[in-house]
Amino acid sequence: MFTNLLICAVFLCIRPSASRVLTTPAELSKKGYDFIIIGGGTAGSVLASRLTENKNTHVLIIEAGDTNEGVVNAMVPFLGVALPGTTLDWNFTTTNQTGLNGRSIPYARGRVLGGSSTINLLTWNRGSNDVWDRWARLTEDSGWSWKSVAKYYFKTSRLVAPADGHNTTTQDIPSAHGNGSVEVSVPEFPSELDNCVIQTSQQLGGRLPFNKDLNTGNSFGFSDTATAYLNLVENWTNLDILLLTQVTKIIQTGKEGKLKEFRGVSIAQTASGPTYKIIAKKEVILSAGVIGTPQLLMLSGIGAKADLEKHKVSVLLDLPGVGQNLTDHPLLPNYFLVDSNQTFDAVLRDSALFGQIIGEWSTTGQGLFVDSPGNTQGFMRLPENSSIFTKVADPTAGKGSGHTEFIFVDGFAALGPLQQPPTGNFMTILTAVASPTSRGSVALASTNPFDKPLIDPGILSSDFDIFAMVQSIKDAQTFIQATPWAGFVTGPFGGLATALTDEEKASFARTLAVTVNHPVGTASMSPSKAKWGVVDSQLLLKGAAGLRIVDASVFPVIPECHVQALVYTVAERAADLIKSKHGC
Ligand SMILES: Cc1cc2nc3c(=O)[nH]c(=O)nc-3n(C[C@H](O)[C@H](O)[C@H](O)COP(=O)(O)OP(=O)(O)OC[C@H]3O[C@@H](n4cnc5c(N)ncnc54)[C@H](O)[C@@H]3O)c2cc1C
Ligand SMILES: *[C@@H]1O[C@H](CO)[C@@H](O)[C@H](O)[C@H]1NC(C)=O
Ligand SMILES: *[C@@H]1O[C@H](CO)[C@@H](O)[C@H](O)[C@H]1NC(C)=O
Ligand SMILES: *[C@@H]1O[C@H](CO)[C@@H](O)[C@H](O)[C@H]1NC(C)=O
Ligand SMILES: *[C@@H]1O[C@H](CO)[C@@H](O)[C@H](O)[C@H]1NC(C)=O
Ligand SMILES: *[C@@H]1O[C@H](CO)[C@@H](O)[C@H](O)[C@H]1NC(C)=O
Ligand SMILES: *[C@@H]1O[C@H](CO)[C@@H](O)[C@H](O)[C@H]1NC(C)=O
Ligand SMILES: *[C@@H]1O[C@H](CO)[C@@H](O)[C@H](O)[C@H]1NC(C)=O
Ligand SMILES: *[C@@H]1O[C@H](CO)[C@@H](O)[C@H](O)[C@H]1NC(C)=O
């Protein structure tokens, strides 16, 4: 296992004050726009910032949600966990999951400027070199290799001193970080767990080695968390942001040679309200995320012919990959009782104390809430001789990538179906499958753009995924038996205590597992001539002109790490591809 400082991507802050913020279509510029970006989320915001660097380029973002300004929970890293299920969330749920004993689980996606990066938990991983090199192989485009994308990654983020100013020499490797707008840092409020985790990985070695900074090219090992803040501080006089407005359809505007041209969009603010049509001079860029992007393509007649016909949508492009290959990281909370009253359990149970800590954060920017609740993270590889490898080829991108992940939380992380118990002090080890082989889909439930689509991530539906999850539970138990934990952990809590055999551990996992919220792949890139995939390696829709897709849906395979730094990096490269194509 590589343990590492958890590098977190934190908070995407667009300064709407520096651009024109519109709340009704009537305010749209009469002069028109070169680029229309659908979705002011993670990728959409990066693109808007880069494309408007040229003051002659006029860009419109259309975002379904509201501004992220002044949303306290979105600004306080610790409270990121409280955002799913609020007005900032689309509130999607999955179909009943066979791998989860038929449970349906919430499927959080940001519906706000900044998108899912506004509601996420700030972990910042760039992905091992082999993650990127596999993309290059799958797309037959060396432009996606680590060697080629490194410069884009370095444009996304920069390492900064933590708020408390402590000396981080032993905690990060500055050369692994770049010059961009996302500020990343090691945790500012060290938790009592941090040293236990790091000493244990230093002590155990082997499959559990210490990795000082996970962002150096090998993504396994253990380290601390780092937090990233993205501030796009350009003065955007050539950017309009239309909020509270949904794109309901992408429209064919003609033909370019043999290719269908899609440069138009329909928009509406409510299901019953009026619709408006807008046309981009250069491109429509679809950045509606891994759920919104395939849903909108299908509503527009772009998808698998049979599925579209089932809903009586007229087929403009038969692209069977649309909505397929949805892949996500399953997450399991393993709870342990601990002999400590330093955990955050008390804070969550005491509203006065909670208020006091929020107060501390808002007045001084210090205190418990400056970090997200997990400070340390580790990635591990399965033992080489694991029985699963007689049936399944190693799904990782390479030996620098992990099969499973740990995140240590100093308290009861109520991420799954269980609520925090009224008494007791806890540690949660979140274990995850980093290289899942399960695949799912996004499908239309109806042709009403305001209806939610059917989301089936297929959590824990493959033999490999359940095998890896069971191994991660065993590894968590081994890890906390090391001497640095002596006297701290008093024992497993709940179903974990009675899950003794592999079968019982598998069943325990199916009862409590949820998602790390890392879905990707529903509009995958692939080589231009390949039958699979939705966009080519330049991210242009196959068989079409004028429409490009830039968001997590284009990932050709899930990376063995947290995904947001890769979304930023993809968007940075896309911005260059767009600028060079249009000379702007
Ligand atoms: C709760 C949570 C925690 C996470 N934690 C982490 C983490 O710690 N580390 C990490 O690396 N990653 C994390 N992630 C994942 C990461 O945030 C996402 O992968 C990433 O932000 C996705 O970026 P995107 O551009 O693809 O989509 P998004 O950022 O989701 O953007 C899509 C945007 O499009 C808008 N939209 C959708 N449909 C329409 C439409 N029809 N019309 C107009 N607008 C539309 C949406 O409202 C949204 O703003 C987390 C995600 C969640 C939800
Ligand atoms: C999500 O659910 C919450 C709680 O019910 C609600 O306040 C919010 O408006 C919902 N979000 C959307 C986009 O409907
Ligand atoms: C999903 O599960 C719920 C609860 O068990 C059940 O009521 C519902 O009918 C199931 N839905 C489908 C489509 O099977
Ligand atoms: C930080 O610590 C390292 C060794 O741990 C030391 O060499 C370095 O001088 C320290 N830096 C500062 C600014 O104190
Ligand atoms: C950071 O930017 C400076 C100047 O702006 C440049 O000299 C340096 O090479 C950049 N570093 C990285 C890692 O990109
Ligand atoms: C933005 O505009 C303000 C006011 O015109 C100016 O003071 C500031 O320097 C500008 N910032 C950037 C990054 O260009
Ligand atoms: C899913 O992606 C893989 C590549 O990772 C590809 O080979 C396969 O054809 C895709 N499946 C579908 C249904 O598009
Ligand atoms: C925390 O634990 C210590 C040692 O067990 C004890 O002395 C102290 O009173 C406890 N504090 C609280 C607030 O419970
Ligand atoms: C794998 O190897 C280890 C030691 O090298 C051994 O203890 C273990 O039993 C082996 N596991 C299997 C499934 O063969």
User: What's the rounded mean pLDDT across residues 219-244?
Assistant: 51
Residue 58 annotated as catalytic: no
Q: How far apart, in Å, are the Cα atoms of 197 and each of 78, 165, 330, 476?
A: 20, 22, 22, 11
Q: What is d(CA 404, CA 432) in angstroms, rounded to the nearest whole number?
A: 5
Say yes or no to pLDDT of 484 above 70.
yes
Mean pLDDT to the nearest integer, 216-222: 41
Residue with CA at minimum distance from ligand 4 atom 12: 167
Residue 562 is a catalytic residue: yes
d(CA 125, CA 136): 19
Torsion of CA 409, 412, 418, 421, to 10 degrees: 170
Percent of the chain past pLDDT 70, that is, above it, reads 83
Q: How confident is the model at residue 364 (pLDDT cuts 50, 70, 90)?
A: low
Mean pLDDT of the region 449-456: 98
Position 368 scores a pLDDT of: 64
pLDDT at position 81 is 63
Task: Give the closest ligand to the alpha carbon of residue 19.
Answer: 6
Closest atom of ligand 5 to 178 CA is 13
Q: How buried is residue 535: exposed, middle or buried, by Cβ count under 10 Å (0-12/13-18/19+)?
A: buried
CA 343 to centroid of ligand 8, rounded, Å: 12
Residue 491, token pair as written in the block: 């024992």
CA-proximal residue: ligand 3, atom 8 (nearest): 96
Question: Does position 373 have pLDDT exceeding 80, yes or no?
Answer: no
The residue annotated as part of the active site, out of 166, 311, 562, 582, is 562
Report pLDDT for 186: 64
* pLDDT of 583 strictly over 80: yes
Whether the per-residue pLDDT at 231 is higher than 60: the answer is no
SS3 520: strand
Query: What's the rounded Cα separation, in Å, for the pair 70 and 47?
Result: 23
Higher per-residue confidence, 242 vs 213: 242
Mean pLDDT of the chain: 86
Please, are residues 66 and 243 in contact by the beta-carbon 8 Å criterion? Answer: yes
Closest CA to ligand 9's atom 5: 385
Active-site choice (58, 177, 403, 518): 518
Our mutation pick for probing the ligand 5 site, out of 179, 181, 182, 569, counting the most ligand atoms within 8 A of Cβ, is 179
Query: Are 322 and 290 in contact, with CB atoms under 8 Å apart?
Result: no
Q: How close is the Cα of 89 to the center of ligand 2, in Å? A: 7
Q: Which of 67-81, 267-281, 535-549 has the lowest mean pLDDT?
A: 67-81
- Measured in Å, residue 327 CA sits from the centre of ligand 1 at 15
Distance, C-alpha 268 to centroid of its chain:
27
Is pLDDT of 433 > 90?
yes
Q: What residue ranges in 173-261 does DSSP mark as E strands?
A: 182-184, 221-226, 229-232, 239-242, 246-251, 254-256, 259-261
Q: In angstroms, rounded to a whole number, what is the distance separating the alpha carbons of residues 377 and 213? A: 11
CA angle 35–41–46, rounded 5-degree value: 60
Give 482 or 519, the one with higher predicted confidence.
519
Ligand 3 within 6 A of CB of 359? no
Atom 6 in ligand 6: residue holding the nearest Cα: 235
For residues 287-292, average pLDDT: 98
Helices marked H in 79-181 — which ranges? 129-139, 146-156
pLDDT of residue 322: 98
Query: Ligand 2 site: residues with CB under 6 angstroms?
Result: 85-87, 89-91, 111
**Contact assessment for residue 275 and residue 475, using Cβ atoms and an 8 Å cutoff:** no
Could you tell me whether strands 20-22 and 157-159 are parallel, antiparallel, or unpaired per DSSP bridges? unpaired
pLDDT of residue 315: 98
Mean pLDDT within 4-30: 62
pLDDT of residue 16: 42
pLDDT at residue 223, as a whole number: 35
Q: Is residue 217 classed as helix, strand or coil in its secondary structure?
A: coil
Ligand 8 geometric centre to CA of 397 (Å): 47
For the cut 90, the answer to whether the pLDDT of residue 397 exceeds it is yes
pLDDT band at residue 14 using 50, 70 and 90 as cut-offs = very low
Ligand 3 atom with the shortest distance to the CA of 96: 1
Ligand nearest to the CA of 150: 5
CA 235 / ligand 6 centre spacing (Å): 6
- Which of left, alpha, beta for 543 (phi over 0: left; psi -120 to 50: alpha)? left
Closest CA to 44 of 183, 230, 185: 230
Cα separation values, 192 from 134, 174, 200, 268, Å: 38, 25, 13, 50
Q: What is the mean pLDDT of residues 159-164?
A: 68
pTM to 2 decimal places: 0.91
Whether pLDDT at 569 is above 60 = yes
Residue 164, pLDDT > 90, answer no
383 lines ligand 9 (CB under 6 A): yes
Ligand 4 site-directed mutation target among 167, 170, 171, 212, most atoms within 8 Å of CB = 167
Residue 325 Cβ contacting ligand 7 at under 6 Å:
yes
**H helix or E strand, kind and range, residue 360:** helix 351-364
Rounded to whole angstroms, the Cα distance separating 226 from 183 reads 9
**Which residue ranges are tagged as binding site for FAD?**
112, 247
pLDDT tens, residue by residue, 556-565: 999 999 898 8
Weakest-pLDDT range from 48-52, 210-214, 281-285, 408-412:
210-214
